[in-house]
Structure 1
C-alpha cells in the first residue's frame, strides 16, 4: 500500500472514529452559554407601543453529552455537566421531557400575561383548572407518591389556588415537618401524609421534590400573541412580563438600553431562581447587553444574583446587574432609569 492510500485510510478511520465517539451518549447533559434573544419579534400586543431599546430573554445550550463533547467541556470554563438523573426520571423519554418544558413555558407565559396586564390596568380574566404535577425528583418523598398529571387539591386542609401558593407554603417548612396532601388521580380523590426531606444539591432547603404547573385559561384585551413554540422552561417569565408591560404602556421602559435578564414569575409578581445563571451572563455579555435583571432570592447566600455577579467579575463584564425579588422591583428600576445617551 502506497503512502497516499495509507493517508486516505487513516483519514477515513479518523472520521469513522469521530462519528462513533460523537454518537455514544454519556449519562450527562452539558449546559453551555446560549444567546440573548430580543422579545419584541416574539411577543405582539395589538396596537402596542414600540421602544428604542430592547428586552431579551437569555438562553442556554443544553444537550446530551457524547464522549467528544464531554472532553471538550473539560476545557471550557462555563460548560457545566449535569447528571441525567438530575434532569429526567429513569422512565422519562426525551419527548416527555420536552413536553414538560413546553408545559412549564405555557404556565410561565400565562403568569407573565396576567401580571403585566394587571400592572397596566388592562382587562384580564382567568379560568382556573387546578395545580398539576409535571415531574417528581428521584429519591425525594414525592416520587414515592405522585405521578405526572396528578392534580393537587389541598395541603394541610388549605385549598390550593396556584402552584406558587403550594411552593411558598412548603418553603416555610423545614426538613422533618409533615404535610397532609389531598390529590386527584383519574377522578379518584386520594390522600398522603409525607415528611419533608432536604434537597441533595441544596441541603438548606427542604421539600417533597415535585414540580407543578397551573392549568388555566387567560383572556385579555387588547389581545396579545406569543410565538414561544421554540422556547422551553419557565425561566423567561420575568422578561416576557416586562416586554408585554412595555408594549401596553405608552412610555418607553427600555429608555434606549439593551436589557436582558432571567427568572420565573408568578401571577403575583414573585420572581424565582433558575438554573444556568453563569451561562446566561456569558451569553448576555457576548450580545452586548447593558442591564441584566437577576433573581435576588431575598438576599440568599447563593442567590442567582450573587452567582451572576461572581461570573460577571470573572469575565470582566461591564453589565449592570440588578437584583430583583418582584416584578415591581424591575419596573421601579426602569422608571427611575435615565435615557441612554
Structure 2
C-alpha cells in the first residue's frame, strides 16, 4: 500500500478520535482533586498566622466522553455519576453553576456565623434580596430574569425574605402584572411581568422561578473569604475552623496539616458530602496528616466509614477523625500536642 494511503488513513483516524472526544455521554466523572490551604483564601482583619494549615479538599468533576468513561471504569478512585444525579431535571449548565456558587455562599455564611459565635465575636446579616436559582421555560420570567439575579423589590414592596416574596405573589391572580427591581452584575434593572398558572388545576400563579434568600454577614472584625469559582457546600467545616483560628488567640492547628470536608449548618452540625473517596486521595497526595470526615451519627455507610476504608486501602498514615459537629473537631484539636 502506498504512503499516501497510510497518511490518509492516519488523518481520518485522528479526526475520528478528536471528534469523538467532544461527544459527551449522560454521565459525570469524579476524580481526586486537591487539598488547598485556606489561610491565603480567608482573611480575618488582625488575625494571626498559623504554623500548620487547615485545608479544603476538592473533587474534579466533568462531563464524560467515551475515553474518560472507559478510564473511570478502569480506575479505582474515579467514579461515574448519571447526569440526573448531578443536575436537576431540565437544569442548564448555567443554572447548575449558579446553584453551586450559591451553595458555596450559604456554606461561607454558616461558617462565618458559627465561627464568630464560638469566638464570642459580634455578627449580624444584611438582607440583599431574593436570589434567582433558575427560571422555568414557558413561564413569564424565562428570558427576562437570569440565574444569579437578585430581586430587591416587587411593586412598592421591599423584599425582606423569600417567603415574603412568595406570599405577595401568591396573593395575586393569573393575568395580574408585577413590577420587579433586581440587580444583575451590580446594575439595577426593572421588568414588569404577568402572572401565569403553574399547574393544570390552575390553583397557583407565579412567574416561574426557583429562589432562595441572599444575605451578607456583617462582622467585627471584618472577614473576607475569596472562593472565586469554587462551588458547593462541602468546605463549610474547614472554613469554620480556619475563621475560628484567625479570630482567637493561639494556633488551633498546633502545627499540623489538617484537611477535611463536611457541610456546616447554622447550629454547628457537620453534614455529609459527595466524593469522599476522591477527597481522601487528594488530601493524602497533598501531605495532610489529619482528615476530618462527617460521622453522620455513626451511620454504617457514613462518610467517615468510607473515608476510613479508603485510607486503609491506599495505606496512608493520615489520621481519619469522625465529626458530627464543629465542637467535635475543636475538642479533638485541643488534645493534640503542638509540633515544635
Q: TM-score range by the shorter chain?
A: 0.7 to 0.9
Q: 1:231 to 1:306 in 2, by over 3 A?
A: same
| Equivalent residue, structure 2, for 1:8 | 7
Residue 330 of structure 2 corresponds to 331
Q: How far 1:123 sits from its partner (Å)?
A: 1.5
Instruction: Name the CA shift for 1:329/1:88 in 2 (closer, same or farther; >3 Å).
Output: same
* Shift of residue 224, structure 1, vs aligned partner: 0.7
Shift of 1:14: 3.0
1:124-143 mapped onto 2 (5 Å cutoff): 124-127=123-126
Shift of 1:217: 2.7
Supply the distance in 2 between the matched residues of 1:257 and 1:16 (Cα, whole angstroms).
50
Tell me how far 1:12 sits from its aligned partner: 2.4
Residue 42 and residue 67 in structure 1: after superposition, are their counterparts in 2 closer, same or farther (change >3 A)? same
**Corresponding residue for residue 188 of structure 1:** 169
Note closer, same or farther for the CA distance 1:121–1:183 as it changes in structure 2 (3 Å cut).
Answer: closer
Q: Which has the larger radius of gyration?
A: 2
Matches within 5 A, 1:17-32: 17-32=16-31
Over 4 Å off, 4+ runs: 127-135, 211-214
Q: Show the counterpart of 2:195.
A: none
**Does the residue aligned with 1:58 lie in a helix, a strand or coil?**
strand
Q: Which blocks of at least 5 consecutive residues in structure 1 are unaligned?
A: 136-147, 150-161, 164-181, 191-210
| Aligned counterparts of 2:78 and 2:17: Cα–Cα separation in 1 | 21
Match of residue 139 from structure 1: none
SS at structure 2 position matched to 1:188: helix
Partner of 1:201: none
Say what the alpha-carbon RMSD is for the aligned residues: 2.7
| 1-structure distance, mates of 2:43, 2:219 | 13
Kept in 2, the 8 Å contact 1:261–1:294? The answer is yes
Instruction: Please say if residues 107 and 213 of structure 1, whose CA atoms lie closer than 8 Å, have aligned partners that are also in contact.
Output: no
**Superposition TM-score, scaled by structure 1 size:** 0.76
Contact 1:32 1:80 in 2 (8 A): yes
Q: Is the 8 A contact 1:104 1:213 kept in 2?
A: no
Instruction: Show structure 2 runs of 5+ residues with no match.
Output: 135-146, 149-160, 172-209
Number of matched pairs = 280
1:210-289 counterparts in 2 under 5 A?
215-289=214-288
Q: Partners in 1 of 2:324 and 2:298 — Cα distance?
A: 9
* 1:236/1:262 contact within 8 Å kept: yes
Deviations 1:302-324 (A, max 9, x none): 11100100111111111101100
Question: Take 1:253 and 1:291, find their aligned partners in 2: how far apart are those partners?
Answer: 13
Is the 2:98–2:133 Cα contact (8 Å) retained in structure 1? no
